[in-house]
Structure 1
Amino acid sequence: MNLSTKEMILTSLFTALTAIGAFLSIPIGDVPITLQSMFVILSGLLLGPKLGALSQIVYVLLGLSGVRIFAGFSGGPQTIFKPSFGFLIGFIFAGYIVGRIAHNKKSINFRQILLATIIGTFVIYLFGVPYMYLILNNILDTPISFSMALKTGFIIFLPGDILKAILSSLVALKIYSRINAAHL
């Protein structure tokens, strides 16, 4: 994949924003509340599917290489064994899927953006909750039912994530209108 300088800068920007979102966290249980998902969604909305996913791939690879950019100032290959790592995998797919949905037409409207953000949010959960369940039960030897995993990894976060999805959609719509007005 050949990237222009502009694309490299924008991809790096969303990698950095996702890292900053990890540091703005409220630790509750095994998975903290952060602003990461908002920046993941925005990466797909504003960069499109390939660059949105790439920004999240770079984020995850930096964290796995030892840079402490994950929530709780963690990083390194051992992070794979944390219950929250599945959500990080979901970030990559969410960045791509949100970008694919939002950029499949010539003009973008609020309904299309909001649909993309909600689907992207659920994609993160689709990877995160089962991974959390498997890690807790099979690696950390902390027996938990799948319904409890849904409650602690999904339900308690849903109101905040819906709010972040709406906020992401409004921000993206505002940025799209500015880009269109400037003919960029």
Structure 2
Amino acid sequence: MNDVEISKKICEYRKRKGLTIKELANLTGVTSSLLSQIEKGTANPSLNTIKQISNALNIPLFNFFINDSHTENLVVRKNKRKKMVFKDGENLAYELLTPNLQGDIEFVLMTIPPNESSSNEQFSHKGEEVAYVINGKVNLYMMNTVIELNCGDSVKIPTLTQHKWENMSNKECQVIFAVTPPSF
């Protein structure tokens, strides 16, 4: 990343914090004129100066050195989702709503056909899960309990908790769930 991009990031973060150049100068011990030159790209900040700015803005130092993701790489189009379909032609499906599993969270849409379940047995996974029923109703078998969830209900499933989903109705059910860290 070149100095001009660092300059733009410093200016952007300063403005996000609602600070003037003079206020940031007071917080960092760097002169207002040097900060102004850095933001304009006419002066090259030292690593020590960038550390001072980072501390004053309360942001990690590496934020000044990473490239921004292209926003198109953050979008998952409905017809481009990664999809897993199970059960010999049945329509039990999982669709990944996050672009990949590289971040701190995994976001998935599960579609359960009528009178089907997510698995034969309860299973567990490492990540903590929060689920929201967006369509239909479903039974959640969790440990030794059966919880009926209707459209609009949500539930938190602690990490390593045995569970399975079952649609007991004659209509398709859809559940959105997030798992952190990604582990499903």
Q: TM-score range by the shorter chain?
A: under 0.3
The structure whose residues are more often strand, as a share, is 2
TM-score, normalization by structure 1: 0.21
The structure whose residues are more often helix, as a share, is 1
